[in-house]
Structure 1
Amino acid sequence: MTTSNKRRLLLQATAAATLAGTAAWSSAAEERTLRIGYQKFNTLNILKGTGNLEKALAPLGWKVKWFEFAAGPQLTEALNADAIDFGHAADTPSVFANASGVNAVYLAAEQPYPKGIGIFVAQDSPIRSIKELKGKKVALGRGWNVQYLLVRALEETGLSYNDIVPVYVSNAADVRATFQSGNVDAAGLWDPFLAGQELATRPRILRDGTGLSNNRTFHLATPKFVDQNKNIIRILFAELKKTNNWTQAHPQETADLLAPQLGVDPKVLRLATERRNYTTVPIDAGIIQEQQQIVEAFYKLNLIKNPVQVKDKVYGEALL
C-alpha cells in the first residue's frame, strides 16, 4: 500500500471517528432533559403553561419534562430519589425534607403569601376562634404549611398543638372530603384548594397566615445537578422571572391559562392569584431565619428529630 493510500485511509478513519463522536454527542445532547416537579397553581406551573422554558433551552439541546405532585412532601421525596432535578415546595415541607436528610438544596424563594393558607370551620359551626379548637379534630397533613400555621395560631391563643386532635390525611382532596363529611371540626388548606373551598362552601376562616407564617414557596434542586448545570438553572430562573412579571400584571389571563391545564375553575384561580405576589428572590439571612423558626417549632413538639441548620442547606452560589 502506498504512503498516499495509507494517509487517505488514516484521514478517512479519523473523519469517521470524528463524525461518530459528533453523532454521539448530538444524540447525548438530544437526550439531556431537565426534570421539573411542580404542584397545582404555582409559578413553575404557570411557566409550564407558557412553554417558554422549552423554547429557551431547545437551542442548547435540552428538553423539559414536567411531573405533577399532590403536595410538597411527595415532591421532595422525588428529589431525594433522583426522580426529578428541580422543584418547589412550601416552607414546612422543605423543613421536613431538610430534617429527614433529603438530598436537596435551596436555590431561591418566593415572596410571602400569608393569605394563601388558612384554618377554617364550616359556616354553621359554633366554633368562632382558634382557641375554641381545644380538644377538637382538625384535618391536615403532616409537614404541611398549614400544620405550621396551626402550631403558631394555637400558640398565639395560649394553646399548644397537643391541645387539638390532628386527623392526618395525604392530600388536599382528602382534606376536603374529610371536612365535608362532618367527621372533623376544622381543617387546613392552601391555595388553590383553599380558594376552591371558600367559593364552594363559604367556610369561616379562623386564621390565615398573616403575622404568623409567610408561607413562602422555595425552589429546590439536587446539588449535583446544580453543580453540573448552573447555566441551565440560570436560564430557568430568567424565564421564571419573565413569567412572574407577566402573571402579576395579568391575574385573569393567568387564571384562564391554568384552568384547562389544572382542571380548576378560573374563578378559583383568580381568587388565589389576586392575593399572591409573584416574585422570586435570593435566599437571604432573614429567610433562613424564618425557616429555622419552623425547624425549632416542630423540634420542640418532637415532630421532627433532627434540629437541622437551614443555612447548611442553601446552595453556596446565587443563580438568579
Structure 2
Amino acid sequence: MSTPSARRIPFAAPLALLLTALAALTGCAGADPEGPVLALDAPLPGAVPEGTKLIVGDPSTKVALQLSGELDKFSFEVEWANISGGPQTTEAFRADALDVGAVAEIPAIHATWTGLPVKIVASKFRVDPIAHPLYQLGIAPGVTVAGLADLRGKKIAYSPGQAQGALILRVLQKAGLSKEDVELVELPSTGDVYPSALAGHQVDVAPLGGVNISRYLAKYGPDGATTIAHGLRDDPSHLYVRTETLEDAAKAAAIAEYVAAWGRATKWVYEHPQEWIDGYYVADQGLSKEDGQYLVDSAGEPDVPADWTDVIARHQETIDLLAAETGNPVIRAEDLYDRRYEAIGAEAYGSGERG
C-alpha cells in the first residue's frame, strides 16, 4: 500500500499504555454484549434495557449537558472518557475502551481501511462554512504565501488520518498542485505542535484551527507570521461507533438516546453563548473570555441535517480523493452511515427539548 511521500518527525506517543489502562478500568467496552444481537437493518429498539452502559468520548457535549442540566437524565449509565480526535478515538475502539466517539469525517474512512468497521450515527455542520471555517492556513514568519498557488515548493504540515491532513490534500487539489509539488512534513496536529513548527521553520505552512489561529497571529504576527483562507468547506463533525456496538440491541437503543441528547446540547450551546464561554471555554478549557468569544464568533450557526444524502455525497468525494492519493481502495460512503439514526439528532436539535 502506498502513502503520500512525507518526511516524518517523531513524537512521544504513550497512547497505547493509556488505553490499556483505560480498558482495564472500564471493564472493556466491547466485551459481554448487554443485549441480544440486533441486525444492522433491524429497527432500533424503543427502550433502553436496565443495566445498559455506554462509554462516551465526547468531552464538549458532556460539559454542554452539565451546563444545560441534562447530564444526569439518561436512562442508562454513561461513563465519560476524556478522549477526542480521530487517532485517540480509533485506538480506544481497538482497545475496547470506548463505545461512542466525536470526530470529523476522516477517522471513519481510515478506521475502515485498517480493518475496523465503524458507522456514523450523528452529523453536524455549519450553516455558512466558507465564512466560518474551522481552519486557516498558517504561514511561517518570513514566508510569502499570498494565495494557494504560492504553496508550490513549500514545506507543509501533514497529519494523515485526521481532518487537517485531508484538508491539505483538498487544498492542493484546488490549487492544481500534486503532493510532488510540495514537501509534506508528517506531524501530529495536536496541541501547539503546528504553531511551534511554523515558528521554528520546520514547516512553511500548516492548517491552524480554533484559538491557535488568533494566538499564532498575536504571538508571531510581529515577526511576519500570517494566515490565509483556504476557501473550502471543512466543517463536518460526527459521532461514530464500532459496527459491532450497533449489533448489541441494548447499546443501539442507548446510542439513539445519546444522539438525541447530543442534538439538544448542540442547540443549547448555540442559544447560550455566554454561558458556554464561561462554563466551557473559561472554566473547563482554561481559556480567556476573549478566546472563548473568538471561538463562538468563528463557529457561527450549527446545521444538523435530517437528510444525509448530500452529506454522504460530499463524504464520497473526500474518500475518492484520499484513495487516489494514498493508494487505498475506494469505499462507499453510504456504508459508513447508519441511517436509522439519521433524523434523531436533527429532530432533537430542532425541538431543543427532551424527547
- Normalised-by-shorter TM-score class: 0.7 to 0.9
Is 1:159 paired with 2:177?
yes
Query: Partner of 1:68: helix, strand, or coil?
Result: coil
Matched, 1:218 2:218: no
2:111 maps to 1:97? yes
Match of 2:313 among 285, 289, 314: 289
Cα distance in structure 1, aligned partners of 2:179 and 2:306: 32
Aligned residues: 283
Amino acid at match of 2:260: A
Q: What is the CA–CA distance in structure 1 between the aligned matches of 2:311 and 2:330, rounded to whole Å?
A: 17
Partner of 2:165 in structure 1? 147
Matches of 1:68 and 1:238 in 2, distance apart? 21
For residues 14-54 of structure 1, give each alpha carbon's deviation from its aligned partner in whole angstroms, at most 9, with x where no partner exists.
xxxxxxxxxxxxxx956x43211136xx5x25435537453
Q: Does 1:130 align with 2:153?
A: no
For residues 225-253 of structure 1, what are the alpha-carbon distances to aligned partners after superposition, in whole Å with 9 as ceiling and x for unaligned?
Answer: 33423332232222222222221123232
Q: Which residue of 2 aligns with 1:55?
A: 72
Matched, 1:237 2:246: no
Higher helix proportion, which one?
A: 1
What does residue 340 of structure 2 align with?
A: 317
Aligned to 1:79: 93
Q: Which segments of 5 or more consecutive residues in structure 1 lack a partner in the other structure? A: 1-27
1 CA distance for matches of 2:330 and 2:196? 34
3-state SS in 2 of match to 1:56: coil
- The 1:70/1:264 distance shift into structure 2, 3 A limit, reads farther
Q: Rate the CA distance shift 1:47–1:224 in 2: closer, same or farther, 3 A.
A: farther
Q: In structure 2, how many angstroms separate the alpha carbons of the residues matched to 1:180 and 1:251? A: 32
Q: 1:48 to 1:83 in 2, by over 3 A?
A: farther
For 2:55, the equivalent position in structure 1 comes to 35
Shift of 1:164: 1.3
| One-letter amino acid of the counterpart of residue 334, structure 2 | K
Give how far 1:310 is off.
1.4
Q: 1:271 to 1:140 in 2, by over 3 A?
A: farther
Mean CA deviation greater in 76-85 or 120-129: 120-129
Task: Give the conservation status (yes or no) of the 8 Å contact 2:155–2:205.
Answer: yes
Shift of 1:269: 2.8
Q: Secondary structure at the match of 2:112?
A: helix
State how far apart, in whole Å, the 2-side matches of 1:45 and 1:133 are: 39
SS in 2 for 1:305: coil
Contact 1:136 1:164 in 2 (8 A): yes
Equivalent position of 2:210 in the other structure: 191
2:352 corresponds to: none
Which residue pairs with 1:11 in the alignment? none
SS of equivalent to 1:139 = strand
Over 3 Å counting, the alpha-carbon distance change for 1:162 and 1:275 in structure 2 is same
- Determine the C-alpha separation between the residues in 2 that align with 1:310 and 1:69: 25
| The structure with more radius of gyration | 1
Q: Distance in 2 between matches of 1:95 and 1:75?
A: 13
Change over 3 Å in CA distance of 1:269–1:166 after alignment to 2: farther
Amino acid at match of 1:50: L
2:330 corresponds to 1:307: yes
Structure 1's 70 and 163: CA in aligned 2 closer, same or farther, altered over 3 A?
farther
Between 1:47-56 and 1:280-289, the stretch displaced more is 47-56
Tell me the TM-score normalised to structure 2 length: 0.71
Q: 1:252 to 1:51 in 2, by over 3 A?
A: closer
Match of 1:254 among 266, 276, 281: 276
- C-alpha distance in 1, partners of 2:80/2:211? 19
Distance in 1 (alpha carbons) for counterparts of 2:245 and 2:214 = 35
Matched position secondary structure for 1:281:
coil
Contact between 1:247 and 1:278, CA under 8 Å: does it hold in 2?
no
Conservation of the 8 A alpha-carbon contact between 1:111 and 1:216: yes
- Which one of the candidate residues 247, 269, 293 is aligned to 1:270? 293
Q: Distance in 2 between matches of 1:295 and 1:234?
A: 26
**Percent identity of the aligned residues?**
18
Whether the 8 Å contact between 2:58 and 2:83 is mirrored in structure 1 is yes
Match in the other structure for 1:181: 200
